[in-house]
Structure 1
């Protein structure tokens, strides 16, 4: 368990619904601004650019993962939830970022990547050596038979042939919904849930204003299901939200649920799960509408998205690091998007398109 940290002295003005009209700027520390000319962006560099971000009208900054990591998935493979990647700075630098951002009326949103860890995380290294069936072994999901949960789709189809990988140290297969170096945590183990609660406490006590919950639909596994959007996941989120509301009122949880509106909206619960949810289906339809010069794809999706709790909000985005994913379109719409924006096969990755905005739009201003 982490040591209790002193709270950041700065306090934002009380507005429990601040996220409903927030202008959120996503940035990756390593590529944003380099303050010491070592070729890597850093936290002091972000601090130097806070006035610039304030002038843009930004009211919240969303920081991609900044934790110690092997960086095989751009930091989403976390090796330590309680520290800062040394290339980016220190915990002291991060506390100063919080103070300086808050002084300018800018909130800070960080990543809570809870579905999986890096295989270098001490929990996994301990689990693979622990006795099968023990509490520590069961921090992750293991099996002797990789046919288990066969109805779950493979997400990274370009690089993974299975959701199971063999671990020679453990002598069993472990479950991973993403890359094989990112074993999934086992949320059926109460100790894992307590670990995640403690991580949340650590960063909120420091002064973080919100957390993006990465890959939240995949927390639990059940046979004869697709292992997505399960009731157990929503029960866990309600417990997480209840704890947060009790200890840290005014903070925010943002769900990354790449799902159709009906399934994504479920992560609002009755206003007692996540405060916000990214609206993945709207993003490709913005580009579709632009190319077809027809607003229908956007209007149609918005009309499917209106019925959400009063205290909740969709996170609408044109660009973020997940675009241009085409998971939440029909097969016909995906074929159209490939023809319109990615005729070169090299511009396609997994179920989506990887191109910068200018070439995506034919450099047409």
Structure 2
């Protein structure tokens, strides 16, 4: 993902990314300052506080919207004037790889397109998917409990529009090629303004056929392949990442044969990693990692453990037992989190996602709160930063933001608990206050990232093997693509000190070995290292 104005022809199966690529996930107004457009405030934060640590930024929907904090788009071609202008977006794209949402499954019921649908004339009048209440909809899979169909009086009579998420988010009908044509124009505009990474929001629900599950249909995969072809032909260095909060095996299908998404969200990582650190047992995380196929050249995993949404539980289905899931949900509730629900295919109410700031989710274990909040939180990131793929770090994790109960009370939406808006002066005061954890979190995570981006063995496509070190030590081995660097990544995932015998690792005796995080040389390969609770080591034969 090079920043360049040159025309470059990229061959298929080419890795356009490296160990230097880190993506910050943020709203355009996560940090605000009086009398300054938030996008300019964000740019200042990136240029000063982040400095040269993070080279990419995912600005969550920055368009005019009516609900869902941006994901009910009113106008795809405009910047929300409360955030700034297209010039502000372009200024960021000149210095950072810019990732933007393509909210392609639905738009706002207040959009001009839907207004025309209601009128029964003009662009948009035939853009939306409709069904009848007596159609066979029993197998439809969706992440909400609200009624699927919304009754609307239109110029063409009564219609029932399809609403996968909410009645303010009306689903498009991609059977109409004009809808696809409209989105190709939108993509072209975003490319021209400097977008290089497209996040295909809720793409799994794109195509609907009554009488089916209406998720992951073959036509949806065909649309992803087509969009990739169109985007690559227009801008060879641009890439697609699919957002599919679904069970792991289904999620993996969006790679296709390395001809669909360049990247997929590694949705199973957040619940499995949280479960590991709250139980002190890495069994499920280790089993999952062992089963994951390496990403082919030209594809990547997008790793994250916190985002603007909650910690999804569907990607843990089949990976964690029902008892494990129940314990995880109850523990998060005890730490002040909220639970969002969905209706299963049997009509049962099931936990869909856990809404909590990641820092607060790490307050303790399944046995209750303890003194290891900071260490557990850092351990989670040290594991994520080292895994195969590109790391995405949520701005509120980078800052150690805690649950925002005031915003939750104002909006009555569970996801608001982890979507704080920092006043810039309040943030600066928090980062300057040594008695608070925010500065320590920021400096520690930046230090880990600054170490990561120098290691060829942390290339997103570098070799990875899972280590077998028991249930309290979670470890894996990375090797650079030129085979010159090896890194053994081991974390104590428990609240007790654990001894790591170096003899359990394949540390070749003719090499010199270093611990990258502490920057200490290892002089005796038969020694044992005592790992304090939640300590991580990165043991490398190359120091950079």
TM-score normalised by the shorter chain: which range applies?
A: 0.7 to 0.9
* Conserved 8 A contact 1:139-1:192: yes
For 2:159, which of 172, 176, 180 is the aligned residue? 172
Structure 1 pair 64–144 and aligned structure 2 pair: CA distance change class (3 A) = same
Deviation of 1:307 after TM superposition, in Å, equals 4.5
Deviation of 1:47 after TM superposition, in Å, equals 1.7
Unaligned runs of 5+ in 1: 1-8
Point out the more displaced range, 263-272 or 18-27.
18-27
Distance in 2 between residues matched to 1:224 and 1:152, nearest whole Å: 8
The aligned counterpart of 1:156 is: 144
More strand by share: 2
Structure 1 pair 136–291 and aligned structure 2 pair: CA distance change class (3 A) = closer
TM-score (norm 1): 0.87
CA RMSD of aligned residues (A): 2.4
TM-score (norm 2): 0.59
Unaligned runs of 5+ in 2: 342-351, 364-370, 375-544
Deviation of 1:20 after TM superposition, in Å, equals 5.4
Structure 1 pair 254–300 and aligned structure 2 pair: CA distance change class (3 A) = same
Distance in 1 between residues matched to 2:26 and 2:123, nearest whole Å: 37
> What is the DSSP-based 3-state SS (H/G/I as helix, E as strand, rest coil) of the residue aligned with 2:69?
coil
The aligned counterpart of 1:139 is: 127
- 1:203-214 alignment runs, 5 A limit: 203-214=190-201
The aligned counterpart of 1:29 is: 28
Point out the more displaced range, 191-200 or 263-272.
263-272
Deviation of 1:344 after TM superposition, in Å, equals 7.5
Deviation of 1:219 after TM superposition, in Å, equals 0.5
Distance in 2 between residues matched to 1:258 and 1:297, nearest whole Å: 19
The aligned counterpart of 1:65 is: 61
Distance in 1 between residues matched to 2:175 and 2:296, nearest whole Å: 28
Point out the more displaced range, 139-148 or 188-197.
139-148
The aligned counterpart of 2:44 is: 48
Structure 1 pair 144–262 and aligned structure 2 pair: CA distance change class (3 A) = closer
> What is the DSSP-based 3-state SS (H/G/I as helix, E as strand, rest coil) of the residue aligned with 1:199?
helix
Distance in 2 between residues matched to 1:56 and 1:324, nearest whole Å: 29
Deviation of 1:33 after TM superposition, in Å, equals 3.6
Point out the more displaced range, 171-180 or 42-51.
42-51
- 1:78-157 alignment runs, 5 A limit: 78-99=73-94, 101=95, 106-130=96-120, 136-145=124-133, 147-157=135-145
* Conserved 8 A contact 1:78-1:117: yes
Distance in 1 between residues matched to 2:172 and 2:131, nearest whole Å: 14
Deviation of 1:346 after TM superposition, in Å, equals 6.4
Deviation of 1:327 after TM superposition, in Å, equals 1.9
Please say if 1:75 is aligned against 2:70.
yes
Structure 1 pair 121–229 and aligned structure 2 pair: CA distance change class (3 A) = same
* Conserved 8 A contact 2:74-2:110: yes
Task: Extract structure 1 runs of 4+ deviating beyond 4 A.
Answer: 12-16
* Alignment size in residue pairs: 343
Point out the more displaced range, 148-157 or 116-125.
148-157
Structure 1 pair 284–13 and aligned structure 2 pair: CA distance change class (3 A) = farther
* Conserved 8 A contact 1:141-1:186: yes
Distance in 2 between residues matched to 1:145 and 1:360, nearest whole Å: 41
Structure 1 pair 316–344 and aligned structure 2 pair: CA distance change class (3 A) = closer
Distance in 2 between residues matched to 1:283 and 1:173, nearest whole Å: 36
For 2:204, which of 206, 209, 217 is the aligned residue? 217
